[in-house]
Copies of this chain bind each other. A is one copy, B any other.
Amino acid sequence: MRGGIDLGGTKIQAAVVDGDGRVAGDARHPTPTSGGPADVAAAMVAAMAEAARAAGVEPAQLEGVGVGSPGAVDAEAGSVTSARNLPGWEGTFPLAGTLQDAFGVPVRLDNDVNVATDAEFQLGAGKPYRSLLGVFWGTGVGGGVVLDGRPWVGRGAAGELGHMVVDQDGERCPCGRIGCMEAYAGRGAMEARARRREGETKLFEIMRERDRPRLTSGVWKRALKAGDPVATELVDEAVKAIGTAVGSAVNLLDVEAVIIGGGLGLKLGEPYVERIRDAMLPHVFADDRPPAVHLAELGDLGGAIGASLLVTR
Contact = CB atoms under 8 A, between A and B. Distances in A.
Interface of A: 131, 143, 145, 147, 152-161, 163-170, 175, 177-180, 240-241, 244-245, 247-249, 251-256, 282-283, 285-286, 289
One complex includes copies of this chain to the number of 2
A169 B244 CA distance: 10
Nearest to A166: B168
Given A249-B252, A253-B154, A289-B155, A166 B164 contact: no
Given A164-B251, A248-B248, A252-B253, A157 B286 contact: yes
Contacts of A245: 165, 248
Contacts of A254: 153-160
Contact of A167 (B168, B175, B249, B255): B168
Contacts of A178: 282-283
Nearest to A254: B154
Contacts of A154: 131, 253-255
A244 B168 contact: yes
Contacts of A158: 252-254
B253 A168 contact: no
A233 to B, nearest CB: 15
Given A163-B283, A285-B160, A252 B168 contact: no
A245 to B, nearest CB: 8
Contacts of A177: 282-283, 285
Given A157-B289, A177-B285, A248-B248, 18 more contacts: A145-B252, A145-B253, A155-B254, A155-B256, A159-B254, A160-B254, A163-B283, A163-B285, A164-B164, A164-B251, A164-B252, A165-B165, A165-B244, A165-B245, A167-B169, A168-B240, A168-B241, A252-B253
Contacts of A241: 168
Taking each of A158, A179, A245, A253, which has the highest tally of chain B beta carbons within 10 Å of its own beta carbon? A253
Contacts of A163: 248, 251, 283, 285
Closest 9 CB pairs of A and B: A154-B254, A157-B286, A158-B254, A160-B251, A164-B248, A163-B285, A168-B244, A157-B254, A160-B285
Taking each of A155, A180, A255, which has the highest tally of chain B beta carbons within 10 Å of its own beta carbon? A155
Contacts of A131: 154
A178 to B, nearest CB: 7
A282 to B, nearest CB: 6
Taking each of A153, A164, A167, A256, which has the highest tally of chain B beta carbons within 10 Å of its own beta carbon? A164
A221 to B, nearest CB: 25
Nearest to A289: B155
Taking each of A175, A178, A247, A252, which has the highest tally of chain B beta carbons within 10 Å of its own beta carbon? A252
